[in-house]
Structure 1
Amino acid sequence: MAGKRVLCVSFSDINRDSRVLRQVEVLAELGEVTTVAYGDRPPGATEHLRIDETLPSLPQTPAGVALLALRRYDAVELTAPAIRDVLRLVGDRRYDLVVANEARSMAVAHRIAAGAPVLADLHEWAPEERAHVRSWRLLVKPFMTYQCRKYLPKMAAVTVVNDSIGAMYAERFGAAPRTVRNAGPFRDLPPTDVAEDRIRLVHSGGAVPGRNIEGMIEAVRMLDARFTLDMYLVPARDGGKYLDSLRVLIGDEKRIVLHPPVSPAELVDTLNAYDVGIFSLPPLTPNHRLMLPNKIFDYVQARLGIVFSASPETDRIILDHELGAIAADASTRALVDVLTPVTVARVRELKRNADKAAAVLNSVEDAAVTRTAAADLLGVRS
């Protein structure tokens, strides 16, 4: 739709960020979309402004850290190197709607908007995103809390990943978020057959410390020879150091294979070859405790059984649709205990259940929430 101009701000490698890619797809139905993010131009964007990948999106320079320590948050909020780059790239362009992905982009989105409405997709709980890291807890948590207190009342609309996190924003900051889950589009795929002597586990996601990938590797070592594990991991921005440490941990274990990452568009087709999608995440932060990640929806669309560690949001989906089993906690032992009794017959049943659930656990409902919110702010018919 010509005429309406939308800016989508995201401090992620946008072509690896399934949530933002879906967001851009919806926004492109309503106007001409400019994206400003790390990485190449994504599908749906009319124009793309590429942030220098070497620049951090938080004020991590010595001057920035000093201002954080002194709690001079108004002075520091636009000084992060990537934020300065965004302001340079956007220049004097003007938009009818600005979409700010994650709390760290609210200040720069508000500055660029110059009075136009801003839709904040906060994704998860910003104040404690990495609260298990001491420097984050001491310096960044109070900054993010201040940003939410200052900018959430200025946002024309707010979305979050699930109802539990939305309730936290409502209670703490008086916001009224709408929920946009991390569900992908419906895929018309059949459940693949399960071999009589093999249960093919799979895990996809970021190669990020704290995601307990080591625990999943160790669990497979402890399981019997029926179980294999294939992993499709997106490298962190650490030059491959963490991935290298995982390769060392896997060593010569033939039942565990680490694959190169595949694009979001290819992921579900790739996962469809397997049997059970697994994830085990220690509840180190509120976002971990209340997780509702892309991968549970990817696993459903791939017609897999699911085994996750306990979490209220994912527990509800697994139990309501009879998709699999829930480990008591995020320990290696708990994962082994829940997988050991799994039979081939049970996996076949779970894959059939996933096939039924795929019709409802997809992005149709979530895209409608984004579409309605953006259309209302643009003054167009969705």
Structure 2
Amino acid sequence: MNARPSLLILSFSPIRSDPRVLKQVQLFSPLYEVTTCGYGEAPDGVVEHIEIAPDARAWVDDKVAMATRRFRHAYWNTQAVLDAKPKLAGRSFDGILANDLSAVPLALSLEPTHGVHGDLHEFAPKEKDDDLKWRLAVAPYMRWLCRTYLKQLRSVTTVARGIADRYEADYGVKVGVVTNAAPYSDRTPQPVHTPIRLIHSAAGQRYRKLENFIELMRDAPANVTLDMIVMPNEPDYVAELRELGADVPGLTFRDPVPYARLVETLSEYDVSMTFLPPTNFNLAHALPNKFFEAVQARLGLIIGPSPEMAAILNEYGLGEVVPDFSVESLRRVIAALTPEKVAEWKQAADRAAKDLSAEVQQGEWARAIAALLTTPAARAA
């Protein structure tokens, strides 16, 4: 019997708690000999895990190299790359799945037999384009990475169509889409609570303007409550939010829960608010985990006019799109909620749950990696 093809999944992230990369591991471990390389402990199901040192930063430290546009030097002297490269040296893989642009050069340097698939989680050249310093200092480096390495990949995927279109337009590469869909959860919609229970789960980052939800609840109708689950990405900001919301009726801050328990936790609610002001390009094209987790929890959805989310929400009748990102408009939508309307949304989520599950959405990954591992990579003459 022939051995299964070997696949390295490379990510400068803690793979056990990175939902998108963990889905790759779960999808491909039954099919291939999967080795992972990233931070933290090994995810379940892999044949080997190569751990990157926890103090090895995945970001460029060499400010002089960045300022003088010596981008190749800057990349190869990144701490995470310096730590991972010798640990991977001398190993042979049939293919590599490189997560995010920062992993692509290292993956290509390993010269796997059939090449590299790149999964790009954002549009890297505009990742923080709301920040002038980032646009001046970092964006040129990101554009260099794209120009230099993207066309060397055998195939590419990203998280949303708008981001894929921008990569294709700017760098001439064909890009497929694998959304951040959650695994299918076999459950039934729960009856609508009295009062209606709203939930917002988010990373605790200032640019997300989570204080808008606190302002919303100061004048919210009595027939709704809001719980917020805020990850401590920026602890000072999260502390500010908790203090700001301490005396707001109907508002509760809930501690974060492990990813494996998130859909079960969300199912205790009625409506998820996924409201992301488009402060940069990637947020304007956001199609986040939380959107899909709400569907698997059988919740209704209230979102801002984010085009990627709005297209899916309208197709399946999952909830309501607020016409703009103002607190006033969101407040009007909340004031018009009725148990009957929310119950319809929850039933729509139930009907859409299989279509919008990871098992269906990940077909693009399955096809790309199968094609990668069954055809030889072109070699330069």
Q: TM-score, normalised by structure 1?
A: 0.93
- What is the rounded CA distance, in whole Å, between the counterparts of 1:154 and 1:127 in structure 2? 18
Alpha carbons 1:15, 1:40 under 8 Å: kept: yes
Give the 3-state SS of the residue equivalent to 1:44 in structure 2: coil
- What is the rounded CA distance, in whole Å, between the counterparts of 1:367 and 1:214 in structure 2? 34
- What is the rounded CA distance, in whole Å, between the counterparts of 2:347 and 2:170 in structure 1? 41
Deviation of 1:114 (Å): 5.5
Alpha carbons 1:191, 1:304 under 8 Å: kept: yes
Give the 3-state SS of the residue equivalent to 2:110 in structure 1: helix
| Match 1:278 to one of 256, 270, 273 | 273
**Unmatched runs of 5 consecutive residues or more in structure 2:** 376-381
Identify the residue that residue 223 of structure 1 maps to in structure 2. Answer: 220
Equivalence map 1:145-156=2 (5 Å) = 145-156=143-154
| Match 1:208 to one of 205, 208, 226 | 205
Give the 3-state SS of the residue equivalent to 2:257 in structure 1: coil
Note the alpha carbon deviations across 1:250-274, whole angstroms, 9 max, x for none: 2233522222222222111110110
- What is the rounded CA distance, in whole Å, between the counterparts of 2:302 and 2:88 in structure 1? 44
Letter in 2 for 1:215: N
Alpha carbons 1:30, 1:375 under 8 Å: kept: no
Deviation of 1:324 (Å): 0.9
Give the 3-state SS of the residue equivalent to 2:207 in structure 1: coil
Structure 1 position 190 matched with structure 2 position 188: yes
Note the alpha carbon deviations across 1:119-145, whole angstroms, 9 max, x for none: 100122111111112332111111111
Deviation of 1:42 (Å): 1.5
Structure 1 position 373 matched with structure 2 position 372: no
- What is the rounded CA distance, in whole Å, between the counterparts of 2:168 and 2:97 in structure 1? 20
- What is the rounded CA distance, in whole Å, between the counterparts of 2:44 and 2:131 in structure 1? 35
Identify the residue that residue 21 of structure 1 maps to in structure 2. Answer: 22
| Match 1:255 to one of 250, 262, 270 | 250
Identify the residue that residue 303 of structure 1 maps to in structure 2. Answer: 298
Identify the residue that residue 293 of structure 1 maps to in structure 2. Answer: 288
Structure 1 position 57 matched with structure 2 position 63: no
Give the 3-state SS of the residue equivalent to 1:184 in structure 2: coil
Identify the residue that residue 243 of structure 1 maps to in structure 2. Answer: 238
Note the alpha carbon deviations across 1:215-235, whole angstroms, 9 max, x for none: 122212221222211222333
**Which range moves more in the overlay, 306-315 or 127-136?**
127-136
Alpha carbons 1:122, 1:160 under 8 Å: kept: yes
CA gap 1:375/1:192 in 2 versus in 1, 3 angstroms: same
Alpha carbons 1:216, 1:280 under 8 Å: kept: no
Q: TM-score, normalised by structure 2?
A: 0.93
Structure 1 position 341 matched with structure 2 position 358: no
Structure 1 position 180 matched with structure 2 position 169: no
**Unmatched runs of 5 consecutive residues or more in structure 1:** none
Alpha carbons 1:35, 1:49 under 8 Å: kept: yes
Structure 1 position 363 matched with structure 2 position 358: yes
- What is the rounded CA distance, in whole Å, between the counterparts of 1:161 and 1:251 in structure 2? 36
Alpha carbons 1:291, 1:311 under 8 Å: kept: yes
Q: Give me the CA root mean square deviation.
A: 1.8
CA gap 1:250/1:89 in 2 versus in 1, 3 angstroms: farther
- What is the rounded CA distance, in whole Å, between the counterparts of 1:284 and 1:223 in structure 2? 25
Give the 3-state SS of the residue equivalent to 1:49 in structure 2: strand
Alpha carbons 1:160, 1:177 under 8 Å: kept: yes
